[in-house]
Structure 1
Amino acid sequence: MEIDAQPNVSKVSLKDFNANNFNRGAGKVKEVCWYIIKVVFFLSPLPFPSSVKAFLLKAFGARVGSRVILKPRINIHFPWKLDIGNDVWIGEEAYILNFEKVIIGDNVCISQRAFLCGGNHNYKDPSMPYRNGPITLLDGCWVGACCFVGPNVVIGIDAVITASSVVTNSLADNGVYRGNPAAFVKYRW
């Protein structure tokens, strides 16, 4: 293997990054208040009742349905950009980085340490501007433990994402998906 005599020079220029066009959806005071509430009630290992956490999410602008189970150590970035249906389970240490809207349908299970990541950057632009997107989990789907779900993804009705899978594209209804990238394995029903 021959080595090029001229060294490569990075084109990335993070000093030119501009977050001013990003809509956080709330003012600084509301955001700071949410972070304090999040640290005390959501990131804590103490098992505060789900009803208390649902009340707090609603107070900060989330839509939260009935009979929602919210386990300890859940990290929700912006509750005002969150919509949770009825009969939803969110497991320990799940992380919802919702720079854009995250919609969770009815009867959805998000297992432990799942990461719903609505944030991204355009790596083709040297200043790495935001390239965020929404995430939608349709009714009856199950996101397994330690899964990654990226921006601009819709998980279909009754779809199952097996543990540690990586989802960067939308997935159809009723499928079982596994791997990196998540690929169809079989039908659920």
Structure 2
Amino acid sequence: MDRHLRGFTGAGYDKGRPLLVQAAWFAVLNLVFVKWWFPTRWRPVVLRAFGARIGRRVLIRQRVRVHWPWRLDIGDDVWIGEGAWLLNLEQITIGSNVCVSQDALLCTGSHQRHSSTFEFDNGPIRLEPGSWVAARAVVLRGVTVGRSGVVGASAVAHHDVGPGAVVTTGAPA
């Protein structure tokens, strides 16, 4: 199939906030939030100010990127490691006692591969309590990682991961 990206419309996608709020978030994200010198304890406060629901005792390290804070729900006692990217064009829900390790990617966005204009094909991500997305792992749109499930280092989860299941690079979900 030939692609005609000039025809892309993004039809039906709502960013969830006015352009001014989006611009303000991108300024705060890139000028302050991701920086090593920005105090860890203030990151949840800033995310809440932009509409995220963040539980207690959440640790968010430097270089963590969040696309839209208003599409983020994090439970209690969650760790998000350095360089993690929460590309949440749609909702990302992270249960309590979850670890998202260094440089992991949670990507709710995709495209319709059979669309000549490559229109969006997005879906939410849910990490159930006690799950772990290990270093440089990827969780793709529409995936739920079940309670105590693990997406191992550098693995890609493109289907749901059952409760207690472990996905590694040798056995992708």
> Normalising TM by the smaller chain, what interval?
over 0.9
* Root mean square deviation, CA, Å: 1.2
Supply the distance in 1 between the matched residues of 2:2 and 2:150 (Cα, whole angstroms). Answer: 40
1:42-68 superposed Cα distances (whole Å, 9 cap, x missing partner)? 22132x233211111001000000000
Using CA pairs under 8 Å that are at least 6 residues apart, name the structure with larger relative contact order, 1 or 2.
2
The structure number with the bigger radius of gyration is 1
| 1:180–1:31 CA distance, 2 compared to 1 (3 A) | farther
1:8-31 superposed Cα distances (whole Å, 9 cap, x missing partner)? xx5211111102421100010000
1:93-139 superposed Cα distances (whole Å, 9 cap, x missing partner)? 00000000000000000000000000000011101100011000000
Supply the distance in 2 between the matched residues of 1:82 and 1:29 (Cα, whole angstroms). Answer: 19
Is 1:58–2:48 an aligned residue pair? Answer: yes
Structure 2 counterparts to residues 10-29 of structure 1, below 5 A: 11-29=2-20
Give the 3-state SS of the residue equivalent to 1:122 in structure 2. coil
Deviation at 1:181, TM superposition (A): 5.7
Structure 1 match to 2:34: 43
Structure 2 spans left out of the alignment, 5+ residues = none
Give the 3-state SS of the residue equivalent to 2:163 in structure 1. coil
Q: Aligned to 1:115, which of 105, 111, 117?
A: 105
Identity %: 37
Normalising by structure 1, we get a TM-score of 0.88
Is 1:30–2:36 an aligned residue pair? Answer: no
Verify the 8 A CA contact 2:72 2:91 in the aligned structure 1.
yes
Verify the 8 A CA contact 2:125 2:141 in the aligned structure 1.
yes
Structure 2 match to 1:6: none
Give the 3-state SS of the residue equivalent to 1:132 in structure 2. coil
Verify the 8 A CA contact 2:65 2:86 in the aligned structure 1.
yes
| 1:39–1:168 CA distance, 2 compared to 1 (3 A) | same
Structure 1 match to 2:172: 182
Stretches (4+) displaced over 3 A: none
Supply the distance in 2 between the matched residues of 1:22 and 1:160 (Cα, whole angstroms). Answer: 31
Structure 2 match to 1:171: 161
| 1:181–1:17 CA distance, 2 compared to 1 (3 A) | farther
Normalising by structure 2, we get a TM-score of 0.96
Is 1:83–2:69 an aligned residue pair? Answer: no
Structure 1 match to 2:129: 139
Verify the 8 A CA contact 2:11 2:119 in the aligned structure 1.
no
Give, as a single letter, the amino acid of the residue that structure 2 aligns with 1:126.
Answer: S
Give the 3-state SS of the residue equivalent to 2:23 in structure 1. helix
Verify the 8 A CA contact 1:166 1:181 in the aligned structure 2.
no
